[in-house]
Amino acid sequence: MSQKLAGHLLVECLVEQGITHAFGVPGESYLAVLDGFHALSDKIRFIINRQEGGAAYMADAQARVTGRPGICFVTRGPGATNASIGVHTAFQDSTPLILFVGDVGSDCRDREAFQEVDYNSFFGPNTKGMAKRVERIDDPERIPEYVSRAFATAMNGRPGPVVVVLPEDMLTRPVQASALPRLEPVEAWSDPGSLRTLREMLLQSKKPFVIAGGGGWTTQAAQALQRFAENWKLPVGNAFRFQDTFDNHHPQYAGDVGIGIAPKLAQHIQDSDLLLVIGPRLGEMTTSGYTLIQAPRPKQKLVHIHGGAEELNRVYRADLAILSTMNAAARSLEVLSAPPELPWLERTAQIHTDYLSNLQPQNLPSPIDMAAIIGVVNRLLPADAVVTNGAGNFASWVHRFHRYHGLARGLKTQLAPTSGAMGYGVPAGIAASIVTGRTAFTIAGDGDFLMNGQELATAVQHGGKSIIVLLNNGMYGTIRMHQEREYPAHESGSRLQNPDFVALAKAYGYEGVRITRTEEFEPAFAAAVRADRGTLIEVMLDPEVITTRVTMSAIRQAALNKNRSN
């Protein structure tokens, strides 16, 4: 058997696992791996990023659109710490991701060598950590074993990130080992007794409600979920930033169960007598700070289905907890026979009607009508386009007014961080475009864009095309909103002095357009869809338009009135 460098073997293992792209910032600590990418450039592309945080976000996006773990390579110390934001995002979003860290040589270890970090302590796998597992490969012959285990850990149970540390000297040693065959995630099936109990609970219910979302969904699982909901005529809401789990155009769709939840939808959930939660871990955002659903014991009966045993009964005590992957769960549910008559048909229809009414915008004083702009996006964006965003009030326009066709139509179309991480949308959109070739639409705020705007250079270099709508209101809008609520008229630390975003986009190689009125948007967006390269459309948004429902002045006045009454 011929020998090869350990770094080359590592790349061969990735190719065997079906990986076609890897993201990262190069470092001298893993030069042997970079040489492996050169040797196998016909099978896998190494995408060069401008900052490790952007690289990790791109790997997260890669995982979401492909269903395989996203792959990110960074160098030791600062490279790993920069990438940690993507690891944390993948952990909270239940996204399979593998971060490979080139490390100091074994002869320098434990001496606080140049850029040395204790990765077990930093990424610490525990219930509050950033990674599911942290491992170091010291024996190059065991690279196939470690890579296979990293894929298994990332994909099985509750999906999540794994960190693999690669000593520099280990990667340059000759090896004879070969890559292991492609690994698929293990399906965990719910037991028949639990399914019978679930059916009995549905038969006894008068006001059931389904919340779907979380990681691990496939097209087949989403289609099976839709058939189950149709069989039982159940209203279905999607968990925070998993709005593409169930088709938003379906007559049983209830809406987005997340930040700024529609008041009527919140009331419907609170009035339910049975909550069937399929996939979400029921985090703070989906539960409105653990108040929409009371913790630890909800007033409604709760059926919680999740792929990770550690999540079941961790925060919420369920009446019925079912350990199952989403594919297995949905396929089990769709064969549950429904009775010929169901008492909640009118309620399901009413919930969908209320969802449609929430699409009617409030009248906010501004030359820019953001609801109308998202309406243009809905009409002109290709049906298979990927929609991405980071964190900020700007995202609420997409969350409320964009309608996702959903995974049941065959494609993952929403990429957004449930961790609330700023700077995610721009690199995620670029990665989705590079990996899939589909159009990517990103909505960003001015502060959010500047977190990872430099990745436009990555897009241009590697042929990615994204359309970025950048809302420029000269401030960190979410923080300013909270300031006005808690400390009205006391602005501090939230005002921004911005660059010329149009000129900046053009400097990177994107098209750049600035609009100041609603009617200017449609021709600019139509041109962006037709263009063969990326476009940034800067929307000059009045700071008053700080939410989809009320102005900043109204928030401030309400807070002042409250202070006076106290």
What pLDDT score was predicted for residue 188? 92
Q: Determine the Cα–Cα distance for residues 451 and 529; give it in Å rounded to an integer.
A: 25
Measured in whole angstroms, how far is the alpha carbon of residue 218 from the centre of its chain? 15
401-438 pLDDT, tens digit per residue, is 999 987 888 899 999 999 889 999 999 999 999 999 99
Q: Determine the Cα–Cα distance for residues 411 and 183; give it in Å rounded to an integer.
A: 22
Tell me the average pLDDT of the chain.
95
Q: Is residue 37 part of a domain?
A: yes
Q: Determine the Cα–Cα distance for residues 213 and 548; give it in Å rounded to an integer.
A: 24
Whether 383 and 353 share a structural domain? no
Q: Is residue 521 part of a domain?
A: yes
The residue from 140, 175, 210 where one domain ends is 175
The stretches in the chain having pLDDT less than 50 are none
**482 φ, ψ (degrees, to nearest 5):** -65, -35
Query: What is the residue whose two structure tokens read 């140049």?
Result: 114
Whether 73 and 165 share a structural domain? yes
Whether 260 and 330 share a structural domain? yes
Whether 401 and 451 share a structural domain? yes
Q: How far is CA 331 from CA 188, 245, 336, 541, in A?
A: 12, 15, 9, 46
Give the domain CATH number at 149: 3.40.50.970
Query: What is the residue whose two structure tokens read 């928030």?
Result: 555
Q: Is residue 451 part of a domain?
A: yes
Q: Is residue 183 part of a domain?
A: no
What pLDDT score was predicted for residue 56? 98
SS3 content of the chain, % helix, strand, coil (to 5): 40, 15, 40
The residue from 337, 358, 379 where one domain ends is 358
Whether 312 and 284 share a structural domain? yes
25-84 pLDDT, tens digit per residue, is 999 999 999 999 999 999 999 999 999 999 999 999 999 999 999 999 999 999 999 999
Tokens of 66: 């492909």
Residues 6+ apart with CB under 8 A from 131: 87, 91, 99, 123, 124, 125, 160, 161, 162, 163
Give the domain CATH number at 315: 3.40.50.1220
CB contact at 8 A, 236 and 252 = yes
Whether 101 and 50 share a structural domain? yes
Q: Is residue 491 part of a domain?
A: yes
The residue from 175, 205, 227 where one domain ends is 175
Global confidence as pTM: 0.95
* Terminal Cα-to-Cα distance of the chain (whole angstroms): 81
Report the domain count for the chain: 3
Q: Is residue 352 part of a domain?
A: yes
Query: What is the residue whose two structure tokens read 């529609």?
Result: 262
The DSSP-derived string for 110-139 is TS--TT---HHHHH--STTSS-SEEEE---
Whether 350 and 398 share a structural domain? no
Which has the closest alpha carbon to 435: 26, 67, 37, 35?
67
Q: Is residue 182 part of a domain?
A: no
Whether 546 and 446 share a structural domain? yes
Q: How far is CA 486 from CA 482, 492, 495, 562, in A?
A: 6, 12, 17, 10
Whether 75 and 222 share a structural domain? no
What pLDDT score was predicted for residue 268? 98
Whether 315 and 406 share a structural domain? no
State the residue range of the domain holding 455: 370-565
Whether 481 and 515 share a structural domain? yes
Whether 348 and 403 share a structural domain? no
Tokens of 54: 């952007």
Q: Is residue 401 part of a domain?
A: yes
